[in-house]
Amino acid sequence: MPKGCKNGFTLWEVLLVIALLGILASMVLPGYSSSIDSTESEVHKVNVLKIESAVRLYRLDTGSSPESLDDLMTCPSADLNWQGPYLEEMPACPFDPNKHYVLDESGKAVIR
């Protein structure tokens, strides 16, 4: 190697690479964020359909609506027409892990 030749990157080269990475990140992150929101929304729709279908099957078998979503997974006391379990496990809320699905007065699944 000739005398006076140094290996490495100059400050300008490093700054240019950092700037290019910042530009790429600013282009990619908004698309990534919106895809996460879209996925959560789709998971919620599927969970609601799954729960409401299980409620309809429960109503067909027993002739009444379940008192809670737990009735879809375990047999309520002394219900001889129960053909479940209608749900293997309770779907998790995709928006907030501290919230869960419940049935409202009309038998629709809502998050609380």
Predicted local confidence at residue 104, as pLDDT: 87
Question: Does 4 reside within a domain?
Answer: no
Range(s) of the domain holding residue 98: 41-111
Domain count, the chain: 1
- Residues 23-52 pLDDT 10s: 998 888 877 777 878 888 899 999 999 999
Predicted local confidence at residue 79, as pLDDT: 66
Question: Does 27 reside within a domain?
Answer: no
- Residues 54-86 pLDDT 10s: 999 988 988 888 888 888 888 877 767 888 788
Question: Does 85 reside within a domain?
Answer: yes
Question: Does 81 reside within a domain?
Answer: yes
Taking 60 as the threshold, does the pLDDT of residue 1 lie above it? no
φ, ψ of residue 101 in degrees (nearest 5): -85, 140
What pTM was estimated for this model as a whole? 0.68
Taking 90 as the threshold, does the pLDDT of residue 19 lie above it? yes
Question: Does 28 reside within a domain?
Answer: no
Burial of 10 (0-12, 13-18, 19+ CB in 10 A): exposed
Q: Which residue has the higher pLDDT, 3 or 92?
A: 92
| Contact (Cβ atoms closer than 8 angstroms) between residue 90 and residue 112 | no
Question: Does 71 reside within a domain?
Answer: yes
Q: Could you give the CA distance from residue 4 to residue 32 in angstroms, rounded to a whole number?
A: 47
